[in-house]
Amino acid sequence: MATLKELSKVEERFVGGHRLCAGCGHGITVRMILNAAEGYNVVVGCATGCLEVASTIYPYTAWKCSFIHNAFENAGATISGVEAAYKALKRRGKVNEEFKFIAFGGDGGTYDIGLQSLSGAMERGHNMVYVCLDNEAYMNTGIQRSSATPTGADTTTSPAGKVIPGKQQPRKDLTAIMAAHNIPYVAQTAIHNWQDVHKKARKALEVEGPAFINVLSPCPRGWRYNTPDIVEITKLAVETRFWPLFEVENGKWKLNYKPKKYVPIEEFLKPQGRFRHLFKPGNEHLIKALQEEVDNRWLALLERCGETPELPPR
């Protein structure tokens, strides 16, 4: 496990000058993942989305590694194809260097329109790492809801009003879906805990075969929080158990962090404008329903991890 002092000396492969919003989680996440790839040659595939459009505005680029921009829906297919070509060239003796292959995609291009491409790449067993930058909506195209959007969130296609109080469906558990592919490594992490991100990225890069990492990556425009509070927002997501930190290694589930006390979901919702309507009189039942969803998912996760299914002490 690298120290902060050691990481400070790592040559950056995602550099400043990009146009990502202040308070966006994407740049932080990408830097953490690529810093964990120190010592490897890296090829990056990037789905169309906030990260791509903000970091590759012609004729400029924020990437100091091999970079492939692909369509919204096919990051998994693109990087798996490059990995397959690399193996073929290596067998023929035309390439001698060692490379790692990493794909980045947002939740729209991963949970939804890119799921078929991603699932195929995982099932075929390509030696690659797929990182989902989960900001819980189609932020780049106008803050439309995705299947990663939480229940009750206000988006442009699930607007909170008198008839419909935000998104009505629960969010998809993509991390569990990836684990169901029986691949060597699956993990869920968040940027407030740099040690957790670094450790899991390193594990994903070192396994032989496909790996998937789901990273909570807040969006100040879509979530509507105070931009300097990004780290605190991710911490609240973990402490309220909305976004648990866990990993699945060769089918074995392991919980990486257990909150010491019961922090209600309101603490995560309050700083975000997308949930402001939930705190209006008469909407108490909506927060209660969301709390029940979080608690039930937590208990199910504990069972999967072989731990006693119980809520934290109040």
CATH class of the domain comprising 4-304: alpha beta
Q: What pLDDT digit, counting tens, does each position of 291-302 carry? A: 999 999 999 999
Dihedral in degrees, nearest 10, Cα atoms 240, 242, 247, 250: 140
What is the pLDDT at residue 106? 97
Contact 34, 198 (CB under 8 A): no
Helix or strand (DSSP H, E) at 182: none
pLDDT of 278 reads: 97
Judge whether residue 7 has pLDDT over 90.
Answer: no
- pLDDT of 20 reads 97
pLDDT-based confidence at residue 270 (cuts at 50, 70, 90): very high
Please say whether the beta carbons of 108 and 172 come within 8 A: no
- Range 82-97 average pLDDT: 96
One-letter amino acid of 186: V
Q: What is the predicted pLDDT for the residue at 109?
A: 96
Q: How many C-beta atoms surround the C-beta of residue 284 within 10 A?
A: 11
Average pLDDT over residues 65-88: 96
- pLDDT mean across residues, the chain: 96
pLDDT (mean) for 77-88: 97
Query: What per-residue confidence (pLDDT) applies to 202?
Result: 97
What's the pLDDT score for residue 37?
A: 95
In tens, the pLDDT along 11-33 reads 999 999 999 999 999 999 999 99
The answer, yes or no, to whether residue 264 has pLDDT greater than 80, is yes
Q: Distance (Å, rounded) from C-alpha 141 to C-alpha 86?
A: 33
Mean pLDDT, range 48-57, rounded to an integer: 96
For the entire predicted model, the pTM comes to 0.97
Name the more confident of 237 and 4: 237
Q: What is the pLDDT of residue 168?
A: 95
Give the C-alpha separation, 5 to 9, whole Å: 7
The neighbour count for residue 181, using CB atoms within 10 Å, is: 15
Q: How is the beta sheet containing 41-47 ordered, strand by strand?
A: 66-70, 41-47, 99-106, 129-134, 211-216, 185-190, 246-249, 252-255
**What are the φ and ψ backbone dihedral angles of 213, each rounded to 5 degrees?**
-125, 125
Of 101, 118, 100, nearest to 109 (Cα)? 118
Mean pLDDT of 50-79: 96
Q: At what angle do helices 75-91 and 115-124 cross, to 10 degrees?
A: 30
Q: CA–CA distance from 82 to each of 15, 121, 133, 261 (Å)?
A: 24, 11, 21, 46
Q: What integer pLDDT is reported at residue 5 of this predicted model?
A: 83
Q: Report the pLDDT value the prediction gives residue 9, as an integer from 0 to 100.
A: 85
Residues 6+ apart with CB under 8 A from 13: 34, 37, 42, 63, 64, 65
pLDDT for 229: 97
User: Which of the four pLDDT bands, split at 50, 70 and 90, describes residue 118?
Assistant: very high
Q: What is the model's pLDDT at position 3?
A: 84
pLDDT, position 246: 98
> Per-residue pLDDT for 1 more than 80?
no
CA distances from 252 to 141, 246, 303 (A): 37, 11, 12
Indicate if the pLDDT at residue 110 is higher than 90. yes
pLDDT at 62: 97
pLDDT in tens, 143-179: 999 999 999 999 999 999 989 999 999 999 999 999 9
What lies within 8 Å, CB to CB, of 293 at 6+ separation is 151, 170
Asked whether residue 4 carries a pLDDT value surpassing 90, the answer given is no
